[in-house]
Structure 1
Amino acid sequence: MHAVGIVAAAGSGLRLGADLPKALVPLAGRPLVAWSVDALRAGGVAEIVVAVPAEQRAAFARALSADVRLVDGGASRTASVRAGLDAATAGADLVLVHDAARPLTPPDVVRRVLAALADGHPAVVPVLPVVDTTVVVDERGAVIETVPRASLRRVQTPQGFDRVALTAAYALLAPDADLTDDAAVVRAGGVPVVTVDGDERAAKVTVPHDLATAELQVRR
């Protein structure tokens, strides 16, 4: 089975305090997106498509190897993944969608997702248990309910899909739809989603503290 990895890399770096796209922010001297591409490749994904801000295409081309296909991302994550899906080669029957902002995702997570797809599941996401007490609050911020956490999970990437199922689910979406992840896209189309174990090292880099934590991990 042939898998294509789509890396969503069109987001801004505002919450990181950066004046460049988040995916180009350096981690140990290399852009976040380069780490994420390497994680997919080390896990067994040979074909990579990266959705980038159109105005920064040249910068991404300098940051990545020539065999990485670049496409212009959209105004939303959903639009960017749609563009990446359109650019994948016809021979790819599996799709892994990964956040550029999860640079230290271990290759074993990628392999677990691929293995579950090979077992016949049409949609697979890596997850971690919720360990903190989780509550619901009202509009004033007062706690009104404690949510049982035994069945709650934190969803990570890469998320894996049968290409036919993912393409069909995207075809059902409105052009301006903006869902939080691709598992939500296929679930909206009636596709069942199963989970595999994620990894704390696959944490998303969103704010400066996250980047500092990632730097410490790299130095260990």
Structure 2
Amino acid sequence: MSDESRLFRTAAVVPAAGRGVRLGPGAPKALRTLSGTPMLIHAVRAMAASRAVSLVVVVAPPDGATEVKNLLAEHALPQGPPHGTDVLVVPGGETRQESVKLGLDALPPGFDAVLVHDAARPLVPVDTVDAVIEAVRDGAPAVVPALPLADTVKQVEPSEDGSPEPVVATPERARLRAVQTPQGFDHDTLVRAHETVTDNVTDDASMIEQLGLTVVVVPGHEEAFKVTRPLDLVLAEAVLARRRANDGF
């Protein structure tokens, strides 16, 4: 790694304050286990696996910061040269946007880039993380990993009474991408977005779009899927089993 790249400092913010109602009752989604380890720990390890990430800020449920700190203390994180990755836990807000803002506010000065990563994407490969950071280092204000769509997509007129919904358009699939995380940002640009953009926020990249700046896409990875429903847990366990068999992970 060059001297120039070592001077470029990257932090990751991992909002983990959501309840995950689609996975059913029980622990918050980020604290559900995969192969005996909470998804949050897998997600933090995925960020810390990048040698470029020197700090991970975990945004815990508002009443769960102590529990999250205890979990992190119980699980080892990658310790890569030239230093290990520090982890900071802060309580979150009522919405994801509030939680990301609280994570940003907790960052010490001196960071050039910020990753925002869903705790519910526990298996993102380090190569994807590094590709996002590299694109920010090369000057992009915002970067998202994304995959082409395998399915045809239909735009419909939503039905509120459960009746069949009429199709109003078929977008051109070749121009569409399914966006993943971590999303990467120039630090100052993301802070400005959180200070000025409040409406129609679907993800942090959409806030940058509303500032009139360009968001660029880098290739995502099929293993960076979001664990939202019970079937996703089954798929995630299968990925982990394959990694253990292939790599001793």
State yes or no: 1:213 paired with 2:232: no
8 Å CA contact 1:79, 1:178 repeated in 2? no
Q: Rate the CA distance shift 1:132–1:115 in 2: closer, same or farther, 3 A.
A: same
- Structure 2 residue corresponding to 1:159, chosen from 154, 158, 183: 183
* Range with greater deviation from structure 2 (68-77 or 199-208): 68-77
8 Å CA contact 2:12, 2:116 repeated in 1? yes
By relative contact order (CA 8 Å, sep 6+), the higher-ranking structure is 1
For residue 178 of structure 1, report the CA deviation from its aligned partner.
6.6
- Give me the whole-angstrom Cα distance separating, in 2, the residues matched to 1:50 and 1:178: 24
How many pairs align?
A: 218
- Alignment match, 2:208: 186
The one-letter amino acid of 1:191's match is L
For residue 42 of structure 1, report the CA deviation from its aligned partner.
0.9
- Structure 2 residue corresponding to 1:74, chosen from 76, 80, 93: 93
- Give me the whole-angstrom Cα distance separating, in 1, the residues matched to 2:89 and 2:211: 28
- Structure 2 residue corresponding to 1:105, chosen from 119, 124, 136: 124
- Give me the whole-angstrom Cα distance separating, in 2, the residues matched to 1:19 and 1:215: 19
- Structure 2 residue corresponding to 1:21, chosen from 25, 28, 32: 28
State yes or no: 1:39 paired with 2:46: yes
The one-letter amino acid of 1:136's match is Q
- Alignment match, 2:82: none
- Give me the whole-angstrom Cα distance separating, in 1, the residues matched to 2:200 and 2:39: 23
Q: Rate the CA distance shift 1:208–1:215 in 2: closer, same or farther, 3 A.
A: same
8 Å CA contact 2:149, 2:173 repeated in 1? yes
Q: Which runs of 4+ in 1 moved over 3 A?
A: none
Q: Percent identity of the aligned residues?
A: 46
For residue 131 of structure 1, report the CA deviation from its aligned partner.
1.4
State yes or no: 1:51 paired with 2:62: no
The one-letter amino acid of 1:219's match is A
State yes or no: 1:6 paired with 2:28: no
The one-letter amino acid of 2:176's match is L
Q: Deviations over 1:44-75 (max 9, x none)?
A: 31201011112111211111149421111111
- TM-score scaled to structure 1, two decimals? 0.95
- Give me the whole-angstrom Cα distance separating, in 1, the residues matched to 2:44 and 2:200: 24
Please tell me whether Structure 1 or Structure 2 has the larger radius of gyration of its CA atoms. Answer: 2
For residue 76 of structure 1, report the CA deviation from its aligned partner.
0.8
For residue 145 of structure 1, report the CA deviation from its aligned partner.
2.3
8 Å CA contact 1:136, 1:146 repeated in 2? yes
Q: Rate the CA distance shift 1:20–1:88 in 2: closer, same or farther, 3 A.
A: same
8 Å CA contact 1:18, 1:25 repeated in 2? no
8 Å CA contact 2:64, 2:91 repeated in 1? no
- Give me the whole-angstrom Cα distance separating, in 2, the residues matched to 1:192 and 1:198: 18
8 Å CA contact 1:77, 1:178 repeated in 2? no
- Give me the whole-angstrom Cα distance separating, in 2, the residues matched to 1:178 and 1:95: 21
- Give me the whole-angstrom Cα distance separating, in 1, the residues matched to 2:61 and 2:129: 25
For residue 24 of structure 1, report the CA deviation from its aligned partner.
0.6
State yes or no: 1:200 paired with 2:200: no
- Give me the whole-angstrom Cα distance separating, in 2, the residues matched to 1:105 and 1:53: 22
For residue 142 of structure 1, report the CA deviation from its aligned partner.
2.2
* Structure 1 gap ranges (5+): none
The one-letter amino acid of 1:62's match is N
- Structure 2 residue corresponding to 1:170, chosen from 169, 186, 194: 194
- Structure 1 residue corresponding to 2:103, chosen from 73, 84, 100: 84
SS at match of 1:110: helix
Q: Rate the CA distance shift 1:46–1:60 in 2: closer, same or farther, 3 A.
A: same
